[in-house]
Structure 1
């Protein structure tokens, strides 16, 4: 074959692999697809009820099931296979649109899904995840690691770490399906609708509690973020590329915020991955410590303790879990003293505070994109054009904002008779969000070769995390919680 023919063939092959979409746009489209299929259940057939879900278990035979009982005929194994097949087809097409190799992705993703979901399954064992006295009684167990379902994320991360550091050839073979940024971006888009419906529900919960929850925005974005950024830059000498995702991960809402703001400043993908691995580990540490500190010192200020969990614990699942543990501990402590509070208010306050923080991820990403375009990376003597802000803005955040807006409009505008169906539909979409989080943490583990991480500075990143989290984030959060919730107590039980 002539050199010209070879060159032509090479050009055609390169063109065939040329991306049709960016990862941001693909994440937005796939997240919106899940959201749209969920909403179809409002007036038509349930299109997502077959997705697999795992409940707390001691007998593995009954742990898996379709999320909607209308699909019970599938059984747990059938729902698991259907979920794998659906993700394989949709993500495989997406990877092909990104210019990847769909065949290699299919083979690698099958093993990735099996290992990641297997870790989640083990993490749902009652001896790992049970936290409340009611769960202990229901399963007849005397002990548990009390990791909640977040333990499944930890096990998925740990499984990935073992592969990265013990089986490097397997890690290399899996690379086509190891796409943590794509997975987490899809999850964030789906998260928008879940947050909207949750916010709408909390408006009926107590307007005074919600107004106090706005304090979380001021604290997380104006106090935490600035101080963590300063510490990372001045005390530890990190570049802006590292300091921004680190400040976002510690101060806002962990993995989602680190990746969204990392994209806004065009940080290398490795940077938010490093931060994300730290976030999930420290969140579990907080879940194991803070509720018991609240029981010891804040038993007579239950809503201060509740807000503290929302402000201090940096992932959604861990924050809500911490709120649930805190509620169980404080209700029992006060009941023993003859004070019986109405259940739900402590956990609801934690969730409300966390939601207010999460809602502004997109706003903060846009602000950082504007600052970096016009003040950090601008060309001397030239003014940044608005188009540059658009180019830098993480496009998947548009999907997040759109699902949030639609979800909020439906939550307030739907016929009351349809609102239970809306909640159920969004819950099914949220099951996919959990799946993408599982894949994210497994993928982060597979990318985390300790030798490379150490060379990239993860030891110093962890030092920043420890200094900031235990040096001031937890304690400033406690102070803010006291200022806004001190003296406010839940209503007494009838």
Structure 2
């Protein structure tokens, strides 16, 4: 009995959701201590736009400017490996396999990130003269995300042995949730300077996702049942996966209605594969069509792109691509991060509502559709399904606003620097997300697992109306709103 108690892990240490919260908060507070004068994470590696490879890497803080860039990179790798391995051990994973896999994933990802920052790829029009460049692809440093995604897709589809070896460390949802927790601090900092705009984004984001839930889910469920003849056990997770938030929603719905475990797993595979397709197409479509409506574009990514990882990644891409185009096409330089904030805000509300939606479905299934003797919906399921990393995002958002309102200008500058250092880790987590999304996206799975009919439903619903309804809703709630400009 004592051994069982000793071996039992607290629920606070058993899931990726909780560990995303703890790691995100830990990194943020290491940066936050900058306001005391302590520079604890200034050694984290920063990737600069480069023409000379020897100048590509440097520590993020001037306090560590004597530190060689390669040393900064190694320190960053060691730090992330240690804290992530602690999480893996606590969750019962294979730490040795995680470390070996993560080592390969980290360095491949970072090489992709460095290539994306090559000046001929990344330089925006306002930087060409300074760098003495005749031209560039104008894709900003975030093009490293695309390169990481492509490399991940190549490995995931053509090198199955290596993909299996890296499986223990292929955790895109964990990486992106950790990044979103850290992002809460940066969004809070932005909000300090534009309180009215922040309130608009939050309120409109909430309204938009309520509209989406009321339209998306019933339509997908009806089409799956009426025209493709799926049973409720299949149609409900499929509707949640396609219309709400991909993997998390499919799994939560499957659990809520007591579906066979294989069903949400198959739906989740579809979700990941199509999220990659959206990630490749939609940010560039948004740049072409919506560069005059940046906040519409950001919200659209949150409503249209499934899975937290792909949505946040597409929001980061849209933020970079549209800011770059606005400089050349409109002569306007918008502040970084606001389009990503719209994406993240919408996605966070969607994640919150997954818990409520799963609870509602649990009640409907237990009372009407699949009533089983002795079973009833438990209110505790709301908490079990609630995405815990959202707590960290919200807490840091509120904390930074409250502190920023009471401290002086000098302290606020230090706070800004500390949050920027933590934000460097956020960028690395986003890059890891892109690579690992590609890594786990094996397009052959669609046919190997016999998911042809499911895939047809997905294509019909996603490209037939979900993307376009998401665009309309985004336009209705965010039309005419633009980020603050940078002088």
TM-score calculated relative to the size of structure 2: 0.79
Structure 2 residue runs without a partner (length 5+)? 229-233, 256-263, 303-313
Deviations along 1:93-134, whole A, 9 cap, x unmatched? 22111112222222221111111211222222233333x311
Which of residues 453, 468, 477 in structure 1 aligns to 2:474? 477
Structure 1 residue runs without a partner (length 5+)? 1-10, 250-257, 296-301, 333-341
The answer for the alignment partner of 1:45 in structure 2 is: 38
Alignment RMSD, CA only?
A: 3.7
1:217 aligns with 2:214: no
Q: Tell me the secondary structure at the aligned position of residue 68 of structure 2.
A: helix
Alpha-carbon contact 2:352-2:386 (below 8 Å) kept: no
Q: Tell me the secondary structure at the aligned position of residue 181 of structure 2.
A: helix
Give the paired residue count: 448
1:247 aligns with 2:239: no
Instruction: Report the alpha carbon displacement of residue 231 of structure 1 after superposing the two structures with TM.
Output: 4.2
In 2, Cα distance between equivalents of 1:477 and 1:176: 37
Alpha-carbon contact 1:195-1:355 (below 8 Å) kept: no
Q: Tell me the secondary structure at the aligned position of residue 162 of structure 1.
A: helix
TM-score calculated relative to the size of structure 1: 0.78
In 2, Cα distance between equivalents of 1:17 and 1:384: 26
Q: Tell me the secondary structure at the aligned position of residue 470 of structure 2.
A: helix
In 2, Cα distance between equivalents of 1:99 and 1:411: 39
Could you say if the C-alpha distance between residues 211 and 47 of structure 1 is closer, same or farther in structure 2, counting changes exceeding 3 Å?
same
The answer for the alignment partner of 2:349 in structure 1 is: 360
The answer for the alignment partner of 1:371 in structure 2 is: 360
In 2, Cα distance between equivalents of 1:444 and 1:208: 32
In 2, Cα distance between equivalents of 1:112 and 1:187: 17
In 1, Cα distance between equivalents of 2:376 and 2:85: 41
The answer for the alignment partner of 2:327 in structure 1 is: 328
1:413 aligns with 2:406: yes
In 2, Cα distance between equivalents of 1:471 and 1:171: 35
Q: How does 1:298-317 map to 2 (within 5 A)?
A: 302=292, 305-314=293-302, 315-317=314-316
Which of residues 169, 173, 191 in structure 2 aligns to 1:199? 191
Alpha-carbon contact 1:365-1:393 (below 8 Å) kept: yes
In 2, Cα distance between equivalents of 1:134 and 1:53: 21
Alpha-carbon contact 2:333-2:485 (below 8 Å) kept: no
Q: Tell me the secondary structure at the aligned position of residue 43 of structure 2.
A: coil
The answer for the alignment partner of 1:339 in structure 2 is: none
Instruction: Report the alpha carbon displacement of residue 53 of structure 1 after superposing the two structures with TM.
Output: 1.8
Q: Tell me the secondary structure at the aligned position of residue 41 of structure 1.
A: helix
Which of residues 91, 96, 100 in structure 2 aligns to 1:103? 96
Which of residues 45, 63, 66 in structure 1 aligns to 2:59? 66
Larger deviation, residues 323-332 vs 436-445: 323-332
Instruction: Report the alpha carbon displacement of residue 286 of structure 1 after superposing the two structures with TM.
Output: 3.5
In 2, Cα distance between equivalents of 1:21 and 1:259: 19
In 1, Cα distance between equivalents of 2:398 and 2:372: 38
Q: How does 1:98-247 map to 2 (within 5 A)?
A: 98-130=91-123, 132-203=124-195, 207=196, 211=200, 214-219=203-208, 221-235=209-223, 239-247=235-243
Instruction: Report the alpha carbon displacement of residue 321 of structure 1 after superposing the two structures with TM.
Output: 2.1
Could you say if the C-alpha distance between residues 135 and 260 of structure 1 is closer, same or farther in structure 2, counting changes exceeding 3 Å?
farther
